[in-house]
Amino acid sequence: MAHFARIKNGIVDFITTGRDDDENREEELGHDEWIYRRTSYNTRGGVYYDPNTGQPAEDQSKSFRKNYAGIGYSYSSIRDAFIPPKPFNSWILNETTCLWESPTPVPSDVGTGEPPKRYTWDEATTSWVDVTSSE
């Protein structure tokens, strides 16, 4: 079963299901104020992931519009992509994946140690802050 995002003024406001063969009728599914675009539940960053293994699928033909659409996502007709809301002002759009990235990379030791290292973004300092519990 296919998923479609309803877009009004460039913003996704509704997700619905339809038949796989509706892909060829995307424009017809809409209303004067809305357009519909197919979206793939298992697509992230332009890669379609096998729903059974969670690994990139050998067949990438099921990858639609860079990312699965969510309510509040924007649709870029130039990129033909769904883009999530920008999480922080300092973050930069990766044009290849259409995902937002921090201006500094996540520390390489995330998830290591006991307890595992955890970080959160601090927009005021534009840096990652260690929030690992010391308990």
Tens-digit pLDDT profile for the chain (135 aa)? 788 888 888 999 998 887 665 554 555 445 555 677 888 889 999 999 999 999 999 999 988 899 999 999 999 999 999 999 999 999 999 999 999 999 999 999 999 988 899 999 999 999 999 999 754
Which structural domain, as residue segments, surrounds residue 73?
2-87
Same domain for 71 and 130? no
The answer to whether residue 92 is domain-embedded is no
Same domain for 26 and 75? yes
Measured at the CA of 63, the angle between CA 62 and CA 69, to 5 degrees, comes to 120
Same domain for 70 and 109? no
The answer to whether residue 83 is domain-embedded is yes
- Are residues 131 and 122 in contact, defined by beta-carbon separation less than 8 angstroms? no
Q: pTM here?
A: 0.81
The answer to whether residue 94 is domain-embedded is no
The count of structural domains within the chain is 2
Same domain for 14 and 78? yes
